[in-house]
Amino acid sequence: MLNMAPLLFPRVLDGGPANTDSLGIFYVVITILYSLLLSGELFLLYRHRLAFCVRIRNVKVVLCAICMLHVYLVIVLLVYPENGLFPCAAEFWIMSVFLPSGMAFFQACNARVLTAYESQKRLRRNFLEGARKKRLQWTPRGLWEAWIELDAASKVYMGTVVGLVLSFIPAIILFFGSRRFHASYGVFGPIVDSRVCRRGAEWVPSIFIQLFWTALVGPWILWKIRRVNDVHSWAWQTRLAIIAGLPGTPLWMAFTYAKLPGMLAINKYFATAGWFIPSLVVCQQVLIVIPLREAWKSKPRPLSTSSTTSTRTLQSPGSSILSKSPGVSSKELRPRASMHALEATIEKNIEPLIAWAAEKEFTAENTIFLRQVRNWKNKWAPLTTVTTAQRRQMFTEASLIFFTLVNPFTAETPINIEYKIFHALQDLFSTVEFDPYEPTGRSGTPDSTRDKENVVCPWEDTLDRPASIKSEVSASSVSSTRSLVPSQFTENIFDAAFESIKYLVFTNTWPRFVEGEMGGNATP
């Protein structure tokens, strides 16, 4: 995708009348048919935008990248029919600005799998980390730390903006300064025809930009996701897309500058930039077909219990995996896929399910929410009487769960619950202020926020505090606490959200997890 290709043979591509022979018509028909096919695929992808496997890929970025690459693909396909009538100046701007932007968005699509993978690792390690933020310091060290904290996709977006600014300046200088693009003015370069125009040194910056995205950013993403093996085929989609984009540049350079008779004969009927077409088509199709396939497969379904193949069986909820069984009947399979089995796992040993959801399905926030609500209720439910201070601590811990796992405005990866349930929780915690920034004392070390009774901060893990705090407070403090904790607050506030997420896990994550364990692939 470097240079669109030069029209090196005046006898065939001479800038004269359009080539309306059978080959030219073939190129036009192929362009129309493929554009219609791609439009239909994009329509289907947009219709399935709410499916989780499509939503996590950010359908807007995918659509933008595909459309940008398709404009370039259409231009390449029409080089022969147009017979070089496409202006060299227009091609220069496409190569210098438009195409790099398309490739940047394309790599941003690929980087999103790394972003999701890193986010899930943070959730599994400590779900509070994702909600923590640091104030930006406008110093070299502060800016460097802010860059390090960015996820992979954000780094690609930032690189796109910086790259466009850096590439736009030399593009303006080269375009208006070179006589290759306009004979009436300029300060350097010879006056040439449209065929030679496409072979000057003015194209070198666009070549380096293209190599940066395909030969540096692409392999970097490949290396970072080398251990990712998710159930959505997202990692394999990314690998295929990046690898497909690698051969285009070497092939273009070989057919543009080589003088071998065989290559020269091919160039008469197939523009050298056409060697990017296979890469473009593969890149577009893997970004569309694989998510669509996963969307159709991922409809909520109970685990099939009719299989009698050799499987691995689940142990009791307190364990993980039993030894292989030569044959398992449907009666034996059904209890392992039941809601009762899931509830027992949540209560006694949910960590394997969390690990599997984080590394395979990218839905650890759901199982972590179930675990945290379970721990929170187990901590406070046994108390027959609750002091004022304990009630305040109980409310603070519940607020932390809400802001870090439920609230879409503050949680890094919020759970997906019905709006009615969320709205009830939002009203309940409306008196609480969430401060995601690291508190600092006079010495520059994290300081406690306990003096701010209506503020919760993810930097202070109050969830690990014991529930045995004694109420040694004044009457004014008691009155303040009562005003801060709503009267409708009880240990059952998360019940509706808990049941909603439990059913979501039961219909999506749990069947895959059980099948993975029976196949011996559940343990990450």
Give residue 36's pLDDT band: very low, low, confident or very high (50, 70, 90): very high
Q: Is the pLDDT of residue 301 over 80?
A: no
* Residue owning tokens 């947009």: 46
Paired with 311 in beta bridges are 325
Paired with 433 in beta bridges are 455
CA 523 to chain centre: 24
Instruction: Tell me the CB-side half-sphere exposure of residue 377, using CA atoms within 13 A.
Output: 14
When comparing pLDDT for 423 and 252, which is higher? 423
C-alpha–C-alpha distance, residues 514 and 522, integer Å: 8
Q: Where are the extended beta strands (E) located within 207-320? A: 311-314
Give the per-residue pLDDT at 412.
86
When comparing pLDDT for 30 and 11, which is higher? 30
Give residue 452's pLDDT band: very low, low, confident or very high (50, 70, 90): low
Which string of DSSP letters, residue by residue, matches 459-480? Answer: TS-GGGS-S-------HHHHHH
Q: What is the DSSP letter of 361?
A: I
Give the per-residue pLDDT at 476.
38
Name 523's Cβ contacts closer than 8 Å, sequence gap at least 6: 320, 321, 352, 355, 356, 517
| Sign of the alpha-carbon dihedral angle for 398, 402, 405, 411 | negative
Q: Is the pLDDT of residue 25 over 80?
A: yes
Mean pLDDT is highest, among 41-55, 124-138, 140-154, for: 41-55
Mean pLDDT is highest, among 144-148, 205-209, 265-269, 363-367, for: 363-367
Mean pLDDT across the chain: 77
Q: What share of the chain is helix, strand, coil (3-state, %, to 5)?
A: 60, 5, 35
Which string of DSSP letters, residue by residue, matches 210-239? Answer: HHIIIIIIHHHHHHHTTT---TTSHHHHHH
Q: Is the pLDDT of residue 317 over 80?
A: no
What number is the average pLDDT over the span 387-411?
88
Q: Is the pLDDT of residue 145 over 90?
A: no
Q: Is 400 helix (H, G, I), strand (E, B) or coil?
A: helix
* Residue owning tokens 């701010």: 452
Give the per-residue pLDDT at 93.
83
What number is the average pLDDT over the span 70-83?
85
Give the per-residue pLDDT at 464.
67
| Other residues' Cβ atoms within 10 Å of the Cβ of residue 306 | 7
Give residue 16's pLDDT band: very low, low, confident or very high (50, 70, 90): low
Nearest to residue 399, comparing CAs of 389, 388, 411, 387? 411
Architecture of the structural domain at 22-297 = Up-down Bundle (1.20)
C-alpha–C-alpha distance, residues 109 and 104, integer Å: 9
Residue type, 500: S
When comparing pLDDT for 266 and 73, which is higher? 73
CA angle 309, 310, 316 (to 5 degrees): 110
| Other residues' Cβ atoms within 10 Å of the Cβ of residue 259 | 6
What number is the average pLDDT over the span 407-436?
88
Q: Is the pLDDT of residue 312 over 70?
A: no
Instruction: Tell me the CB-side half-sphere exposure of residue 4, using CA atoms within 13 A.
Output: 28
* Residue owning tokens 């690792």: 121
Cβ burial of 331 (10 Å; 0-12, 13-18, 19+) is exposed
When comparing pLDDT for 204 and 427, which is higher? 427
Give the per-residue pLDDT at 307.
37
Tens digits of residue pLDDT in 470-499:
444 433 344 444 457 888 888 889 999 999
pLDDT cut 70: percent of the chain above it: 79
Tens digits of residue pLDDT in 150-187:
877 788 778 777 877 777 888 888 889 888 888 788 88
Do the Cβ atoms of 314 and 514 come closer than 8 Å? yes
C-alpha–C-alpha distance, residues 203 and 272, integer Å: 15
- 212-226, 327-341, 455-469, 472-486: the lowest-pLDDT one: 472-486
C-alpha–C-alpha distance, residues 13 and 261, integer Å: 17
Tens digits of residue pLDDT in 84-114:
677 778 778 877 777 777 778 888 888 888 8
Tens digits of residue pLDDT in 356-394:
998 888 889 999 999 999 999 988 877 777 788 888 888
Number of helices (H) and strands (E) in the chain: give both, helices first: 24, 4
What number is the average pLDDT over the span 203-222?
80
| Encoded tokens for 29 | 């028909």
Nearest to residue 210, comparing CAs of 106, 122, 73? 106
Domain boundaries, the chain: 22-297, 330-436+484-519
Do the Cβ atoms of 400 and 393 come closer than 8 Å? no
Give residue 299's pLDDT band: very low, low, confident or very high (50, 70, 90): low
- 45-59, 73-87, 473-487: the lowest-pLDDT one: 473-487
As a CATH number, domain 330-436+484-519 is 1.10.167.10
